[in-house]
Amino acid sequence: MISNPRSRGAPIHWYGVPLFPADVPDNFDADPCTWYRYKDPRDIPERFWERYGISSGRRGRTVDPGATP
């Protein structure tokens, strides 16, 4: 995760979705960090939005993989 607390939500503001959702272990020395990738941003679990204080009703724009920038 990004170390600066003000920057952690930056991907959501830039792209509209959490880009690197991960489950952080309690014991960094023994347990792995688990990262997830979702093809459809609508499949990202609510817990990853809640970390940034965003509920599903207040999500930003969603990414359309077929859209041109």
Torsion from C-alpha of 50, 7, 40, 33, nearest 10 degrees: -80
Q: What is the pLDDT of residues 18-60, one digit of tens each?
A: 888 888 899 989 999 999 999 888 898 988 888 878 776 555 5
Find all residues with CB under 8 Å of 46, minimum gap 6, and list them. 55, 56
Does residue 9 carry a pLDDT above 80? no
Nearest to 11 by CA among 64, 60, 67: 60
Specify the pLDDT at position 1: 44
Does residue 65 carry a pLDDT above 60? no
Specify the pLDDT at position 24: 86
Specify the pLDDT at position 5: 53
Does residue 67 carry a pLDDT above 50? no
